[in-house]
């Protein structure tokens, strides 16, 4: 079996009595975009700083391209870290910023350095702005200057700490695809730290969801979203409706649950660990719920009335009151017009339904 490009084994980090990172183990493949995702204080940036060499683990080891990084200082690691603030020099031109890290590359001639800078500027599409100062370019362009500078030294691993946090929503969405394109062209392994779930889902090949210093789940965006392994992951990634439930039995290939909040029984996809009589959590994503005026043929159908709705243009979010629950459902506004765009209106009686495959059962 091929050795992972990056291997983190049982890494912990304590600051006094506070344990910021707790026994984290994971691997990252060469050329992968891997995201560390979690809220503020979850330990993701501390883990990133240990990869960069700015912090030493209290316990555990980090191996990069087969080499033990214990005691290796930051300047001797084939790693570059791109900070949230970008840290570009305001008095230097774009090309001078990009070439700054190459000044101490003694093996490179002046011509080679100039060629590398030109290559990096072309990579991030900033050649026409080479002579400008940072204040003369946009926020998105400054972000690309920082990226070009980070890639100029040809690191094996690039660490990006909240790289798009300073950009507005539209520019952030555009830059996400630019980052993916640049990574694909360079083949450099990226590790991205972010608290933005959409950013992680868009950028990353795989995601590690972190909470209180621990990795709760690792998987592809699809695995994390469609098959969360806990209530925390299900609630952190996207919106979700959660209900207390009890396992009644099995109707292969489904579980049958009693769900008091929905006022009846539900068929859900089977979970081998679930046993009859066990208390579990049923989770259903809002976009998996079909909302309509007529009852559907689905095995899981429940009647309620629209308590609130929010119109977002392309879709609407409905909050539907059932006898003992308030359920969120998304509906696409496929038609045009004030009334015609909505499936239902305030206080309308509606039916909610979802397929057993869309019902997530969380044990424990």
What does the domain layout of the chain look like in residue ranges? Answer: 6-235, 241-362
Distance separating alpha carbons of residues 214 and 26, to the nearest angstrom: 11
**Roughly what angle, to the nearest 10 degrees, separates helices 110-123 and 139-152?**
140
Instruction: List the pLDDT tens digit at each of the 364 positions of the chain.
Output: 578 999 999 999 999 999 999 999 999 999 999 999 999 999 999 999 999 999 999 999 999 999 999 999 999 999 999 887 778 889 999 999 999 988 877 778 889 999 999 999 999 999 999 999 999 998 888 888 999 999 998 999 999 998 888 777 888 888 888 889 999 999 999 999 999 999 999 999 999 999 999 999 999 999 999 999 999 999 999 899 999 999 999 988 899 999 999 999 999 999 989 999 999 999 999 999 999 999 988 889 999 999 999 988 888 999 999 988 999 999 888 766 555 557 888 999 999 999 999 999 999 7
Distance separating alpha carbons of residues 294 and 274, to the nearest angstrom: 33
Distance separating alpha carbons of residues 275 and 261, to the nearest angstrom: 20
List the CATH code of the domain at 6-235. 3.40.50.300
Specify whether domain 241-362 bears CATH 3.40.50.800. Answer: no
What is the pTM (predicted TM-score) of this model? Answer: 0.89
What counts of helices (H) and strands (E) characterise the chain?
8, 20
Residue 40 tokens read as: 């503020």
CA-angle at 36, arms to 33 and 40, nearest 5°? 150
Q: Based on the number of CB atoms within 10 Å of its own CB, is 199 exposed (0-12), middle (13-18) or buried (19 or more)?
A: buried
Yes or no: say if 166 and 175 are a contact pair by the CB < 8 Å rule: no
Distance separating alpha carbons of residues 106 and 103, to the nearest angstrom: 8
Q: Could you tell me the CA-to-CA distances from 363 to 217, 223, 226, 309 in Å, in that order?
A: 14, 17, 15, 31
Q: What phi and psi, each to the nearest 5 degrees, are found at residue 125?
A: 60, 45
User: Do 6-235 and 241-362 have matching folds?
Assistant: no
């Amino acid at each position: 079996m091929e050795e992972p490009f990056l291997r983190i084994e049982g890494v912990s980090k304590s600051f006094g009595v506070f344990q910021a990172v707790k026994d984290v183990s994971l691997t990252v493949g060469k050329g992968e975009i891997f995201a560390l995702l979690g809220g503020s204080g979850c330990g993701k940036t501390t883990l990133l700083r240990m990869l960069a060499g700015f912090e030493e683990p209290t316990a555990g080891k980090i191996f990069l391209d087969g080499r033990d990084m214990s005691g290796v200082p930051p300047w001797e690691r084939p790693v570059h870290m791109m900070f949230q603030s970008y840290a570009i020099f305001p008095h230097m031109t774009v090309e001078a910023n990009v070439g700054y890290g190459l000044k101490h590359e003694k093996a490179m001639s002046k011509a080679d350095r100039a060629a590398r800078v030109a290559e990096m500027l072309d990579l991030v599409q900033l050649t026409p702005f080479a002579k400008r100062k940072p204040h003369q370019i946009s926020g998105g362009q400054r972000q690309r200057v920082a990226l070009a500078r980070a890639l100029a030294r040809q690191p094996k691993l690039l660490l990006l700490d909240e790289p798009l946090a300073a950009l507005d929503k539209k520019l952030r969405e555009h830059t996400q695809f630019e980052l993916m394109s640049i990574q694909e062209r360079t083949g450099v392994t990226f590790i991205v730290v972010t608290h933005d779930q959409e950013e992680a889902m868009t950028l990353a090949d795989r995601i590690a969801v972190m909470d209180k210093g621990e990795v709760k789940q690792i998987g592809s965006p699809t695995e994390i979203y469609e098959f969360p392994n806990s209530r925390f992951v299900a609630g952190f990634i996207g919106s979700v409706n959660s209900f207390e439930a009890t396992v009644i039995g099995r109707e292969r290939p489904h579980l049958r649950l009693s769900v008091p909040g929905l006022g009846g029984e539900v068929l859900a996809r089977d979970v081998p660990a679930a046993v009859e009589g066990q208390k579990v959590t049923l989770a259903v994503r809002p976009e998996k719920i079909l909302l309509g005026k007529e009852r559907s043929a689905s095995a899981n159908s429940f009647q309620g009335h629209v308590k609130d709705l929010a119109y977002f243009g392309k879709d609407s979010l409905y909050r539907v009151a059932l006898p003992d629950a308030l359920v969120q459902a998304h509906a696409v506004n496929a038609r045009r017009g004030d009334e015609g765009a909505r499936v239902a209106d305030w206080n309308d009686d509606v039916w909610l339904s979802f397929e057993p495959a869309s019902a997530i059962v969380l044990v424990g």
